[in-house]
Amino acid sequence: MIERVRALIRNERGLTLAEILAAVAVIGIGLVGLAVVIPIASYGLQEGNQLSTATFLAEQRLEQVKNAVWQASAPTNDCIGVSANATAAPTVPYAGGDSCNGAAATTFPDEANVPGYTGYARNVRVTDCGVGAGCGLVVHSDMRLVTVTVTYRPLTAAGQTTTNKSAVVSLLVAKR
């Protein structure tokens, strides 16, 4: 028995050509499978990055709206405004309504290109909750629904698509 073990240890023949070819075939199949997955994985990473950036930009604008002045106590001051329709940026009327620091203003204009973020567009729409059906279940003149939409063109596995995607974030704000 000991002689047999010593014979196996002293055997220095190495691998045969058939064993090497089989190993190369197995490794080759694995690498081809991996090469197919890499573009799909990079697409997924890019999509996640773009959606995270769009959500960040929407949240950033919501914070700016939350910090804008809309007060009921004298002097009344409204720097949030209301959108005239679904395609109009919010404005503050000067005559017959509240003003923003004494002037009429477009409070949060549409941005076709967000500064510092190429390929992203951002718009804000403000709905008065005291008009018509209100804002879903909320009907109160001291509440407004702020909706921020950030649009971007996503990357697909075949390149850039011709359709845009959007991240939409909404928030109710109250008069202070």
pLDDT single digits (tens) 117-145:
999 999 999 998 888 877 888 888 889 99
101: pLDDT strictly greater than 80: no
Amino acid found at 48: G
Amino acid found at 159: G
108: pLDDT strictly greater than 60: yes
Question: CA 7 to CA 28: how far, in whole Å?
Answer: 34
Q: Which residues of 28-61 are buried (b: 16+ CB within 10 A; e: fewer)?
A: eeeeeeeeeeeeeeebeeeeeebbebbeebbeeb
73: pLDDT strictly greater than 80: no
Q: Where are the beta strands (DSSP E) in the chain?
A: 70-71, 77-78, 91-92, 105-106, 120-128, 143-152, 155-156, 159-160, 165-174
Rg of the chain's alpha carbons, rounded to an integer?
Answer: 31
C-alpha dihedral over 140, 141, 143, 148, to 10 degrees?
110
Average pLDDT over residues 61-74: 86
Instruction: List residues bridging with 135 in a β-sheet.
Output: 138
pLDDT single digits (tens) 30-39:
998 888 888 7
pTM, full prediction: 0.75
The three-class DSSP label of residue 172 is strand
Question: CA 127 to CA 96: how far, in whole Å?
Answer: 19
Burial class (CB in 10 A: 0-12, 13-18, 19+), 90: buried
For all residues of the chain together, what is the average pLDDT? 85
- Which sequence spans correspond to the domains of the chain? 10-174
Give the containing element (helix H, strand E) for 26: helix 17-67
Of 160, 167, 170, 65, the C-alpha closest to 109 is 65
